[in-house]
Structure 1
């Protein structure tokens, strides 16, 4: 929430429900993966939604949610569900309520919003007619990497001519467009999607791409090109490390699943292992109905339950990979404070408060608080930010849509002795001009 009740929630949106699977949805028992149902519910699921857009899934996403209680909770907060009768004064009160409520009440509100968000994404997925559901089903499997073109086609996204990195401020402006329909009493009728984007203060698409990422608890599609080129980059950067740190593993933090780290390890290109850690890893990340005979194929990737600070001290990595930052919260200071770290790389929405802190993490001047130093922390500490466009061009972020691609990017922060030469950094930057064939 911006200004009075800032952006993606001014901390009101913290927690897994903003970017991960809704906690209120029934989960499997510890020995089973995916969403579990009673016999009656399973029969309804198999009969009514196993076939989507002409494809019959063997492992299919849950597109029906027990949302009555969530709808009731949401209506008690907002006043209605869909369409929503927007009132500016009440909207400000909703934002304030999310910020000042105790943890129990805040979690209940966020879980209700998350369930309705999931339900509306599912409706968009089922209604889409320009998707390749056979390829989408393959994308659910944790070891599968679609090519960039196949992923775009399957998700119904148009292939851009060139890679263009999106400007986050544009997403903020798009989210406020429904306010133009307000009458003189500052009231209007909005869809749930419009209200949801306005609540978090940036445009969030409701499309197949967002739903597929939600179904497997990831923030971007691990395309084959992204994984292979990232592995090449890490191997090359690792070759420049000298001293005893060269034998230490690369650390991956932020994501609640270890899928991307495992895919990178599977390339066998990187001479040291990538170790994924998270304080609260997601042991069952699937909003999928997974039959018993398929369970073994969905075994979650290895991830160690450990806080980032403890992992930094234990593994003493020279390189750290990061993703899925909590909004308005900076997790990079602790990484820079480790003398062993020479580079950290982030995969996701850069230069925003949606992932990380707009100023402390990204140094984006728009979000600098008045009175703070004119240089962002990473520059003051001797680090430089490098946009890795040759990797970013292969990323399909969960918020990408036909309206705007390039939401996600790969961004490196480096210090000596790994600071790249100007010519090398320019080469990476100019990669955005290569046309997609």
Structure 2
């Protein structure tokens, strides 16, 4: 075995212990969120099953991998079991932020959409989603990621109900949406999650987000909660300056050539990425009552070759450097990495859930799996940094998962009789569903004639 293989073998052993310790700790944190022992044990099983090597992840495939005779236990857990999923969400968030703690951490807010085939799913509507690349029938949810120097993971989420959907009493009743859930814009949902993070005592200094979250309402809410921010804004966003009210595009045109600074913003497959940056002071328009004005600025990013400009409205209570602001803006992309992991590995977009409780609990388990994986990765990297060769990059989340799948994660059941049982179960269920659809079509056809 080569030296590199020996080092990876050591990492695999450390990762195995880190995973077991992290999973045990977080499941202990949320133990009292379950009314009975059975759903508590099932939550841990589902967390592990989410990370198994499966083609798809839903109640059928997870139940088959976990050696269940049918999906009924998982379906009961998601819809009717005695589970306080809101309390579990808070416990997981506090635990994750505590494990990855950093006083200068960034809370990143962003939304993602999951394509659906029917408006029967809670919150599903024809709406815009960046994940779909435009308008489509989908569910949209706002997510909050905690990003520190040691790691990053999602810690909160909120399902977006459009104005028409939120006002539709029939659909709310059919999908069991609680009465206290009302229409809220995405920035308003983000403000609620920021308030929750502060109430939980989560250590973080910055808020980052894209153009959807650059409005005054959220910026003012962030400042009231003592968050500094670096939020993307549109090219026609207007700001108050010493020479009057200008768009950020007009403001950038006034930057002298010598005032642009080229900084490294990351590393890609083709080498380091560099952009030109400039920062211009502005007057804040979002100071809450009783707060000091602080330091407001517009950060401008310019592509080296295309000269395309991007703008970020920033505020900090204390003076910060250009490099500090650029670092916050660059860390905003951690949420995209979390979306890729959550959807591609942790089953976030594959749940096929239709009701409020089932959506909340499916995303809770997905968030739990992503959090434990992130903490295990941070612990493994910390423990092996001094001994790992400089010619080996630290394991990515997916690479760490490969190690865990061969060491500690259970393998999907593949015995012949078990697979034959599930093949028969699926085909019989699909036959019954087809028969039910035919009967319903006959009833509706008769009613219309």
Q: TM-score, normalised by structure 2?
A: 0.25
Point out the structure with the larger helix share.
2
Greater RCO (CA < 8 Å, at least 6 residues apart):
2
Point out the structure with the larger strand share.
2
